[in-house]
Amino acid sequence: MLEDLRELWRYRDLVRSLVMRDLTVRYKNSVLGFFWSLANPLVQVATITIIYKYVLQIGIPNYSAYVLCAFLPWMFFQMSLSDAGESVARQYDLLRKVYFPREALAIASVFANLIHLLLAFGVFFVYLLWLGVSIQAGWLLLPVVILANLAFVMGLAFFVSALSVFYEDMTYLVGVSTSLFFYMCPVLYVTEQIRNKMIPQHWQPIIWEVYHWNPMAIFIEGYRQLLLPPFHAKNLNDLPIEPRYIVISVVLSVAVLIAGYAFFNAKKWQFAERP
Amino acid sequence: MSDAAIQLQDVSKRFRLAHHPVATLKGAVASFWKRRFEDLWALKSLSLEVPRGQTLAVVGRNGSGKSTLLGLIGRIYLPTAGHIEIHGRVAALLELGAGFHPDLTGEQNVLLNGVILGMRERDVRKSLDDIIHFAELEKFRDAPLRSYSAGMTMRLGFAVAVFTDPQILLIDEVLAVGDQAFQAKCLREIQRFQESGRTIVFVSHDLDTVRRVSGRAIWLHEGALRADGDPEAVVKEYLSATA
Ligand SMILES: Nc1ncnc2c1ncn2[C@@H]1O[C@H](COP(=O)(O)OP(=O)(O)OP(=O)(O)O)[C@@H](O)[C@H]1O
Ligand SMILES: [Mg+2]
């Protein structure tokens, strides 16, 4: 694995160039292209906000900010996995012709989405200031959450991109699983709502525990608590994330990253000769 | 240390040939208990030493293992058995314009292609003008690649490959690119490579080129070495066996 990392470092320019390629192709060589690419999440968040606010009548101030804050990292997760799935499989001809560390393709597709996330967060900050949310010291912790989130997504991306080379229906499988996974992350709701009266008393602790073993849920909750004031709707008490869940999610993410990279490396020289 | 650029010791390569589609997870599960693959030995215990500065031609019938040999030297495949040693940077002209993207401009594609072939980005940047000049595509420098003709795309790819300046050059059937003028230019470039003491391994079905360009030829037959030596003699033997 160390040898693989060293080789990857020698090819670091390749990763950077592939990221640049992904972004130029995505933004069509223009700054306007970046704002265009924000249109999709904005439209979705606007729709969600309208439905929750006016149809379901949940009177929460700045509800759109809470949704957007979770939606941007969610997009990062979802887009990274779908791009990573295609990254190696689509370059199949290239793999059969040229030597280079194959992981560069998977890494570049995640990094391109990371840059997109950072740019989108930049726009989000402007929106927050416009809403009147004041700058907080907690924002300085944001890079830590982003790094852990990156590790988790990258690890999964390694699995997905390697498996997609061998199995064409991986893309479909990943698409279905991520859309189910969406509901296991606090995007449309807040974590506090997991403790609701509909769930029988004795089930509550178990569900609460299991729910929090999902690193993506913790990260999304983390972004929210760092960026936005506590969510005081519906008389829910604001619950800070328990420290042990933070530790669990970071440990899990690093484990997924290492396992994913090891899996990818074990498979990568079979890519060019898949049956 | 010996003066070999490429050393192969008892190298074998096995591919697995699938007889029904297993390219889906569903298919893999469904055919789990069936025998899924047939083993196919593309190279069988091949030993070969190519000295520095030699131009080696590889001939043989379709499916005899020529491209597999180049793939092993170019580190696209790992050998199933045996040992390979390479001294020096390898560039493969197995595909010209690897990783070209139709939406990027000629210049952006050159930069990307260069780093895919293992160059540092700043080195590609330095040779950017020369590469585009060599490909004779100055006018199309900032045009997206989809507005190029097929020959122009290959010219650009060849130009990048030449400028990566490898010690070992692998060529698989790509000499016949571009128009007459550009072909002549390619051949001149390959000669320049030979004169500067670089090692070349090339596959060609054009036996005239083999006789003219190479200093040694090998004949692969069903993954094994059938003849090795002077190009004239090997080509003659090959021709008499297949005629
Ligand atoms: N990725 C692969 N998977 C399975 N079998 C393969 C693969 N690549 C090559 N083979 C098999 O290995 C054998 C040798 O193939 P190779 O491409 O080396 O032949 P070649 O000498 O280059 O032929 P040609 O003159 O047609 O280019 C063939 O029987 C081919 O079917
Ligand atoms: Mg071939």
A224-243 burial by CB neighbour count: b if 16+ within 10 A, else e? bbbbbeebeeeeeeebebee
* Cβ of residue A273 closer than 8 Å to a chain B Cβ: yes
Query: Rounded to an integer, what distance in angstroms lies between the CA atom of residue B228 and that of residue B238?
Result: 11
Instruction: Quote the tokens at residue A64.
Output: 């759109």
Domain with A106 in it: 2-273
Residues B84/B11, Cβ–Cβ less than 8 Å: yes
pLDDT tens-place string over residues B175-213:
555 677 777 877 788 888 889 989 999 898 888 888 888
Residue B210 CB partners (closer than 8 Å, separation 6+): B57, B59, B204, B217, B231, B235
Query: Rounded to an integer, what distance in angstroms lies between the CA atom of residue A182 and that of residue A186?
Result: 8
Task: Please tell me which residue of chain A has the smallest CA distance to B98.
Answer: A94
Number of domains composing chain A: 1
Q: Quickly list DSSP for A120-169.
A: HHHHHHHHHHHHTPPP-GGGGGHHHHHHHHHHHHHHHHHHHHHHHHH-TT
* Whole-complex ipTM: 0.83
What's the CA angle centered on B157, arms B212 and A92, to 5 degrees?
110
Is B4-242 CATH 3.40.50.300? yes
The reported pLDDT for the residue numbered B34 is 65
Query: Rounded to an integer, what distance in angstroms lies between the CA atom of residue A24 and that of residue A22?
Result: 6
Query: Rounded to an integer, what distance in angstroms lies between the CA atom of residue A60 and that of residue A7?
Result: 52
Looking at ligand 1, which residue's alpha carbon is closest to its atom 24? B62
Burial status of residue A85 (CB atoms within 10 A of its CB: 0-12, 13-18, 19 or more): buried
Find tokens 């989108």 and name the residue: A120
Report residue B3: phi and psi, to 5°: -100, 35
Band the pLDDT of B36: cuts 50, 70, 90: low
Half-sphere exposure of B144 (CA within 13 A, CB side): 10
Using the mean position of ligand 2's atoms as its centre, give its distance from the Cα of residue B59 in Å. Answer: 10
Query: Rounded to an integer, what distance in angstroms lies between the CA atom of residue B196 and that of residue B212?
Result: 18
pLDDT tens-place string over residues B54-75:
999 999 999 999 999 999 999 9
Contacts of residue B164 in chain A, CB cutoff 8 Å? none
Nearest to B75 among A21, A99, A168 (CB): A99
In this structure, what DSSP letter does residue B162 have?
H
Atom of ligand 1 nearest to the CA of B65: 18
Find tokens 């089930």 and name the residue: A203
The reported pLDDT for the residue numbered A34 is 77
Per-residue pLDDT in tens (0 to 9) along chain A, 275 residues: 888 999 999 999 999 999 988 888 887 767 777 777 777 777 877 787 777 777 776 666 677 788 888 999 999 999 999 999 999 988 888 888 888 999 999 999 999 999 999 988 888 888 888 888 777 777 888 999 999 999 999 999 999 999 999 888 888 999 999 999 999 999 888 787 777 767 777 888 888 888 889 999 999 999 988 888 765 555 555 667 788 888 999 999 999 999 999 999 999 998 988 76
Query: Rounded to an integer, what distance in angstroms lies between the CA atom of residue B71 and that of residue A172?
Result: 32
The β-bridge relationship of strands B37-51 and B55-59 is: unpaired
Q: Quickly list DSSP for A69-118.
A: HHHHHHHHHHHHHHHHHHHHHHTHHHHTT--S-THHHHHHHHHHHHHHHH
**Which of B16, B66, B218 has most ligand 1 atoms within 8 Å of CB, for mutation?**
B66
Count Cβ–Cβ pairs < 8 Å, chain A vs chain B: 88
At A122, the amino acid letter reads: G
Query: Rounded to an integer, what distance in angstroms lies between the CA atom of residue B86 and that of residue B7?
Result: 6
Neighbour tally for B36: CB within 10 Å: 16
Question: What radius of gyration do chain A's Cα atoms show?
Answer: 20
Residue A152 CB partners (closer than 8 Å, separation 6+): A215, A216, A219, A249, A252, A253, A256, A257
Mean of all residue pLDDT scores within chain B: 85
Using the mean position of ligand 2's atoms as its centre, give its distance from the Cα of residue B63 in Å. Answer: 7
Establish whether residue B71 lines the binding site of ligand 1, counting it when its CB lies within 6 angstroms of any ligand atom: no
Residues A225/A139, Cβ–Cβ less than 8 Å: no
Question: In 3D, which of B4, B1, B113, B15 has the Cα closest to residue B72?
Answer: B15
* Angle between the N-to-C axes of helices A63-90 and A215-227, in degrees from 0 to 180, rounded to the nearest 10: 140
Contact check, Cβ <8 Å, B74/A99: yes
Picking from B16, B20, B25, B119 by the largest number of A CB atoms within 10 A of its own CB, the best residue to mutate is B25
Report residue B217: phi and psi, to 5°: -135, 145
* Alpha helices, H only, chain B: 25-30, 66-73, 106-116, 121-134, 150-163, 180-195, 207-213, 231-242
pLDDT tens-place string over residues A232-251:
555 555 667 788 888 999 99
